Amino acid sequence: EIVLTQSPGTLSLSPGERATLSCRASQSVSGSSLAWYQQKRGQAPRLLIYDASTRATGIPDRFSGSGSGTDFTLSISRLEPEDFAVYYCQHYVTSPLTFGGGTKVEIK
Amino acid sequence: QVQLQESGPGLVKPSETLSLTCTVSAGSINNYYWTWIRQPPGKGLEWIGYIYYSGSTNYNPSLKSRVTISVDTSKNQFYLDLDSVTAADTAVYYCARDSERGSYYDSWGQGTLVTVSP
């Protein structure tokens, strides 16, 4: 099973600042088969990024994904008020599919 | 835009079976993989398993002995049964559609909270 470790657990930032979220895998994620989701309180997750760096339909370009192998990053260039939420990474290399534990981006 | 809606009892007794339905609308269930994911209150996401419209399945090994996912293409629905539940199965249960390109999820239901309690 591929274990995904997200850091930091909580990121305290102000609107307009840059956010950098990390997702580290316990073994190589082949084919960059990694996705990122945003989840707001009481809502289902929303797909942001797939294949490590491809934005999903309708996702603003302030969101970007990068990385390969075991280290992946989600960046938000300038935080908007609606970006404060919890973010999860997920691999889809092989079964079982797993998610990281999440990073909460909160208003400082 | 396809829409998914979970339905089922919000309260299940310990040792009983949790049964949920996901109804797919504004799109066909055919030619896609369909997934169940759960999230205990205040915690992260756990993949339960998926079913292809033809009926083939894949389950999380941690739940495999208790899980059955099935599909009824004539009703555009798929289902989750989880046997012998305990309080640890209390969670929001989501159904989701796998994208055409891989097992990441581009469409989700709103989720339904299932509480396991006497």
Contact B92, B39 (CB under 8 A): yes
d(C-alpha B31, C-alpha B8), whole Å: 25
| CA–CA distances in Å: residue A38 to residues A45, A86, B50, B69 | 5, 6, 21, 26
Q: Which of A35, A98, A102 sits opposite B104 (nearest CB)?
A: A35
Average pLDDT of A1-11? 97
- What stretches of chain A adopt beta strand conformation (E)? 4-7, 10-13, 19-29, 34-39, 46-50, 54-55, 63-76, 86-91, 103-107
Structure confidence at residue B100 (pLDDT): 85
- Whether the CB of A41 is below 8 Å from some CB of chain B: the reply is no
- What's the pLDDT tens digit per position in A46-87? 999 999 999 999 999 999 999 999 999 999 999 999 999 999
| CA–CA distances in Å: residue B32 to residues B5, B56, B100, B118 | 16, 11, 7, 37
| Mutant choice from B34, B45, B107 vs A, greatest count of A C-beta within 10 A | B45
- Partners of B94 on chain A (C-beta within 8 Å) are 44-45
Using CA coordinates, name the residue in chain B closest to A56: B106
- What's the pLDDT tens digit per position in B38-87? 999 999 999 999 999 999 999 999 999 999 999 999 999 999 999 999 99
